[in-house]
Structure 1
Amino acid sequence: MNVVQSGARKIWGYRHIVLIMLWLLYIINYFDRISVLTFLPLIRKDLNLTHQEIGFAASIFFFAYALAQVSAGYLADKIGPKRVMGIAIVVFTAVTFLTGMVRNYIQFVLLRLGLGLGEGHHFSPANKTIADWFPKSEKGRATAFFSTTWAFAPAIIPVVITSIAAALGGDWRTIFYILAVPGVIGIFLLYYFVSDKPEEMLKRGRLSQEEYDYIKAGLVSDEAAVEKLGVSVILKDQSLWMYSAQLFCLLAVYWGSTTWISSFLFEQHGFSLAKMGALSALPYVVAIVSTMCGGWLMDKVFHRTKPVALISFLVSIPVLMYLGQVPKGNINLLIVMLILNGFFVNLIWGVIYAYPQVRYPKEVLGSAIGLANGIGQLGAFLSPLLAGYLVEKTAQGIFYDKVFFMFAACSALGALVTCLLKEETLSIETLVATKSNAIPR
């Protein structure tokens, strides 16, 4: 088996093609959601909405997204991740097209709900697919590469769509009609290149026996224990709830800042549409590097998730606090703070979604990620909503310093709960004993 593992590490395997397809599909997912957030200042003006209404509309997406996580994870375990992802792509592509037709606040809120439900059924199945295709020794880097989607997409999308919108005379609606095209392409990519498990591609001749053996030898799996204990395999683990809280804090920081960064640059600093798009993309350009760096640190240096997570959360605290206080007109300092924000907030992505893949059997991984991410996405729901009430409008202008202070507080809480996580692979025997001891005698 050592010979198999050594050879498989050196070859470009079909597992990497699957990973690239998952990456491309999630880029399409992000094109839809980031486009809405990028155009929030224009949508607010066009529909005559308040900051509080925009905050609620932005947040309601994450409420629907959070609810969808639980059902997405369960369905991925039961009917296979590929089917669930296919349904998700069809739904969010259709909703994105309809967004170009929105005419009032109620329609906007309903479409945000629809987009959240559609996109919410994409993430957990994608992670389960990675878990089924990559051995434990590669999970950090594989998950990190996939995680660059939420760095790469926000880096290029604002620049692309604001440039197109500017060429169209500021017409943001046409962008959402155009975005239906990559959705259709994504459906084809999913059904042609991706399978739920390596066995399917082995039968088709796309996957070698050598690579198949390498993958199977490194998976975290325990079918017998899962059959005996069912979902309690994960529900009895205290670290699952700490992990959910960790995700809550991280997603509150990430989606809170992602939701409001365009408005922050447009309103507090007074940048034009094109310059706002370029600057709002800057943190995510840096994040592409930092996300991969985090995965590498996990696999090659620490062999753990907690050190990387702590670095990410702790350094983000002062960075976020000062970002909202950068004086207007000091572009150089603003750029430095955006770069630091992009690096340290996103350093954790390479490890945080690798954590459940390392800790839980793959047979219940979809449910574990779905439950934890469902709870975590409530942070993404509450953060933009609360931020809308923290934006200050004075005679001197519009200010976001309290907004970024809230993000810093979330990062501090994230560091605290990270310290409480257990990182070793979950002991099924311990759970069986716990269950037995819990039976009244």
Structure 2
Amino acid sequence: MSAIMKKAWGYRYWVLVILWLVYIINYFDRMAVLTFLPFIQKDLHLTPVEVGQLASVFFFAYAAAQISAGFLADKIGSKRVMYIAITVFTFVTALTGVVKNFGQFIALRIGLGLGEGHHFAPAIRAINNWFPFKERGRAVSFFATSWAVAPAIVPVIVTSISVSFFGGAWRPVFYVLAIPGAIGIFLLWRFISDSPKEMIAKGKLSKDQDIEEENVAPKKLSKEEKRKAYGVFLKDANFYVFTLCLFCQLAVYWGTSTWLTSFLVTQHGLNIKEMGFFASAPYIVAFFAMMLGGWLMDNVVHRMKPVALIGYIGSIPVLWMLGSVEKGNTGLLLTLLLLVGFFVNLNFGSIYAYLPKRYPKEIVGSATGLANGIGQLGSFISPLIAGYLVTVGANGSQDFSRVFIFFAIVSAVAALCAVILKEKKVTKVPANTIGSEKSVS
């Protein structure tokens, strides 16, 4: 390891890259199921209603896991919780290859949701420990690109493995996906610690004058101090406004992700090859949008609200128009898909940097876990509501106009939340008071 990598100010970027890679492994497992779902449905003789239940039960378990993940990260450390998470979802993914019926598949989807749901909040807490306040927007934005990169590459990779090595069979692919899980466990063990201070204490990292005081590990709190510390965000009205904002953002993201391929095939009549190209377009743009949003937050506006308003207000017209594009107008369809990818994802890095920028690191894991747990219910509810809004014609044709109008309305609610949201930093978690605030310019 070079000298610069041994310095905390340089090594934290390696930590970020590793956390990013491990989270892409997380997405490999969930996106592989979605990619092979039509073939799984055929082999297991599942009805469309059962397929819908399988899709939604994952997000329900995933949302529930977010809450305990945050509190566990604060209690036993981010690294240990991520160990548990990746071990569970790797094991469940391998078991998916032997699933025989609907009941077994439901159990595995719940297990996958619980495993993957315990990964996000600890990762955000680790980023919070390693990066100074002024860089967290960019750091979280880069981390957020993992869920733009993964949906763009996973379907291609897993289907290629299936066709090239297993004659188009889907079951063996899930056994192979245990390998990236094992790699992720190794990367966590070898390169990650909860904080620079911990790694320096173990002699794995040299001391460096550029380490900021706020990058040291958070202090241990007594039970009484924890009770008062949690009150910092539980008694903060802005926490709930933020949570509703996140709920809406995730509702739009996973709502569009869930129904996009059906929209392209049934309403626009695209074949498999064309659908794959058009469906990947928003995620390619999403990577750059996420990075831009974090850069704007850290270097230009220094707040989440302006970035959020650009993203949410911009999403309203493009989502509204997307659902009404005439069949055959592929130029306009592609243009709107690219714009959807940009505006829907612009605020992803920024919104997840809001809590680390607002609350002390002693409680940011718990705050992130609770907010993301409630917010992920948007991922659960949105696809279900959208299903009722699809208009089915007498000849079996499907019209998604009302679906995308619904997503546009949800974006408008998110914009309203962003207008209301106040951005101030809670400076500390004292033992005898709930906390103090100072304005953030």
Fold shared by both chains (TM-score > 0.5): yes
Residue matched to 1:365? 364
Compared CA separation, residues 231 and 116, structure 1 to 2 (3 A):
same
Answering whether residue 214 of structure 2 is matched by residue 214 of structure 1, we say no
SS at 1:425 equivalent: strand
Distance, in Å, in 2 between the alignment partners of 1:431 and 1:331 is: 61
Compared CA separation, residues 209 and 220, structure 1 to 2 (3 A):
closer
Answering whether residue 179 of structure 2 is matched by residue 188 of structure 1, we say no
Residue matched to 2:292? 293
1:199 to 192, 197, 200: 197
Answering whether residue 374 of structure 2 is matched by residue 337 of structure 1, we say no
Contact 1:392 1:398 in 2 (8 A): yes
Distance, in Å, in 2 between the alignment partners of 1:391 and 1:397 is: 10
Answering whether residue 21 of structure 2 is matched by residue 16 of structure 1, we say no
1:73 to 54, 70, 75: 70
SS at 1:209 equivalent: coil
Residue matched to 1:131? 128
Contact 2:158 2:173 in 1 (8 A): yes
Count of residue pairs brought into register by the alignment: 427
Distance, in Å, in 1 between the alignment partners of 2:96 and 2:434 is: 50
Which ranges of structure 1 fall in alignment gaps of 5 or more residues? 1-6, 436-441
- Tell me the CA shift for residue 22 of structure 1: 0.3
Distance, in Å, in 2 between the alignment partners of 1:95 and 1:141 is: 33
SS at 1:325 equivalent: coil
Compared CA separation, residues 339 and 163, structure 1 to 2 (3 A):
farther
- Aligned-residue CA RMSD in angstroms? 2.6
1:93 to 90, 94, 101: 90
Answering whether residue 63 of structure 2 is matched by residue 27 of structure 1, we say no
Contact 1:130 1:142 in 2 (8 A): yes
Contact 1:59 1:383 in 2 (8 A): no
Residue matched to 1:320? 319
1:105 to 102, 106, 121: 102
Compared CA separation, residues 132 and 300, structure 1 to 2 (3 A):
same
Distance, in Å, in 2 between the alignment partners of 1:53 and 1:391 is: 18
- Tell me the CA shift for residue 36 of structure 1: 1.8
Compared CA separation, residues 87 and 21, structure 1 to 2 (3 A):
same
Distance, in Å, in 2 between the alignment partners of 1:180 and 1:153 is: 17
Distance, in Å, in 2 between the alignment partners of 1:330 and 1:176 is: 38
Contact 2:196 2:216 in 1 (8 A): no
Distance, in Å, in 2 between the alignment partners of 1:382 and 1:175 is: 30
Contact 1:162 1:277 in 2 (8 A): no
- Tell me the CA shift for residue 428 of structure 1: 5.5
Amino acid at match of 2:169: D
Distance, in Å, in 2 between the alignment partners of 1:373 and 1:23 is: 18
Compared CA separation, residues 397 and 343, structure 1 to 2 (3 A):
same
2:51 to 35, 54, 58: 54
Residue matched to 2:138? 141
Q: Percent identity?
A: 56
Deviations 1:311-367 (A, max 9, x none): 111111111122222223322222111111111100001200100000000001110
Amino acid at match of 1:110: A
Deviations 1:377-435 (A, max 9, x none): 11111112222222333215233222222211211111111112111102669996679
SS at 2:398 equivalent: strand
1:83 to 76, 80, 85: 80
Amino acid at match of 1:88: A
Which ranges of structure 2 fall in alignment gaps of 5 or more residues? 436-441
Residue matched to 1:417? 417
- Tell me the CA shift for residue 105 of structure 1: 2.6
SS at 2:300 equivalent: helix
Instruction: Answer with 351-360 or 167-176: which moved more.
Output: 167-176
Compared CA separation, residues 319 and 127, structure 1 to 2 (3 A):
same
SS at 1:207 equivalent: coil
